[in-house]
Copies of this chain bind each other. A is one copy, B any other.
Amino acid sequence: MKADSPKTDQKGRKILREALKVFAKEGFRNADVQVIADLAGVGKGTVYRHFGNKEQLFLATSRHCLTEAGEFIQREVLSGRDPIGFADEIGAVPLLRRIATAYAQHYQRQPEAVEIMIQERSEFRETVFPSHLMHRAEHREGLDELLRRAVERGELRAVDVTQATDAFADLLFGTVVNGCLSGGKTSLVARVEGAVELFLHGLAARDE
A contacts, CB < 8 Å to B: 27-30, 93, 96, 115, 118-119, 121-123, 125, 127-129, 154-157, 159-160, 163-164, 166-175, 177-179, 181-182, 191, 194-195, 198-206, 208
Contact = CB atoms under 8 A, between A and B. Distances in A.
B157 A204 contact: yes
A201 B203 CA distance: 6
A30 to B, nearest CB: 6
A15 B198 CA distance: 42
22 contacts: A28-B29, A93-B204, A96-B203, A128-B178, A154-B205, A155-B205, A155-B208, A157-B201, A159-B203, A164-B198, A166-B175, A167-B199, A168-B203, A169-B174, A169-B178, A170-B171, A170-B175, A171-B171, A198-B202, A200-B203, A201-B202, A202-B202
Given A166-B194, A206-B206, 6 more contacts: A29-B29, A122-B122, A157-B203, A170-B179, A171-B199, A201-B202
